[in-house]
Amino acid sequence: MEEKFEFESEVVRLKEYIGSLEKEFSLIENGFKEEEKRAFVDYKSNDNEYVKKLAFLAYKSDTYQVRMYGVFLFGYLSEQDDILAFMRDEVSKDDNWRVQEVLAKAFDEFCKKIGYEKALPVIDEWLKNNNPNTRRAVTEGLRIWTSRPYFKENPNEAIRRIAALKEDTSEYVRKSVGNALRDISKKFPELIKEELYNWKLESKEINQVYKLANKFIK
């Protein structure tokens, strides 16, 4: 009886806390820093079991800023297989683009936690996923990972994975691919130049990506 009371009390506290976040975060129209900061504090201040309940409850919110907060929490918990699968299969279906931006950050958190080289099988799995938001979460990560361990020493491993999606069926993904290659070209212009040189510009999809990727190449 006592355990049931404690459980019900915890649920009430969680719902009240989510309610307060909805009021606070709904006033934020731009950015993600406040949601990220609060998620980090809550993750550090509580045990994983509590944070997991908090994350799932937050993700049920109709307030997209609170769902963003929940996805940041998922990122911190992403070494748990069920959390990573939920990110891949469910968060990727969220129709708010801001939540999708945070999914990319949460996936980056997963890769950072386990190590980028160790994460390669999961990275490749997500890149082949049927959902374009899942694929884009990785291309957005690869965009900055050439400054991170493993990819910093092996930039071509990032480049070839991004370039493989140059004819992706989703324009959303193709734009991410082109922008990622463009950003990497600032640091590794010769590698991107070499990659683009081998492209056959036979389709409008590849041409679209090529124009984005080639922007800073001389």
pLDDT block averages, 10 residues each, the chain of length 218: 57 93 95 97 96 97 98 98 98 97 97 96 98 97 91 95 96 96 95 95 94 88
Measure Cα distances from 134 to 54, 190, 191 in Å: 23, 29, 26
How high is the pLDDT of residue 134? 98
Say whether 93 sits in a helix, a strand or coil: helix
How high is the pLDDT of residue 2? 46
How high is the pLDDT of residue 196? 96
Model pTM?
A: 0.92
The first and second tokens of residue 32, run together, are 């993600």
**CATH number corresponding to 1-99:** 1.10.1240.70
How high is the pLDDT of residue 3? 52
Angle, in degrees to the nearest 10, between helices 155-163 and 120-127: 20
CA 68 to chain centre: 11
Which residue in the block uniquely carries the two structure tokens 């992403």? 78
How high is the pLDDT of residue 82? 98
How high is the pLDDT of residue 11? 82
The DSSP output letter for 202 is -
Query: Is 115-218 in the same CATH topology as 1-99?
Result: no
How high is the pLDDT of residue 8? 62
Look up residue 158 and give its amino acid. A
How high is the pLDDT of residue 53? 96
How high is the pLDDT of residue 5? 41
CATH class of 115-218: mainly alpha
Cβ-contact 46, 7 below 8 angstroms:
no
Map out the domains of the chain as residue ranges: 1-99, 115-218
DSSP codes joined into one string, 126-159: HHT-SSHHHHHHHHHHHHHHTTSTTTTT-HHHHH
How high is the pLDDT of residue 7? 52
How high is the pLDDT of residue 200? 92
How high is the pLDDT of residue 160? 96
How high is the pLDDT of residue 9? 78
Instruction: For the chain, give the number of residues.
Output: 218
How high is the pLDDT of residue 6? 56
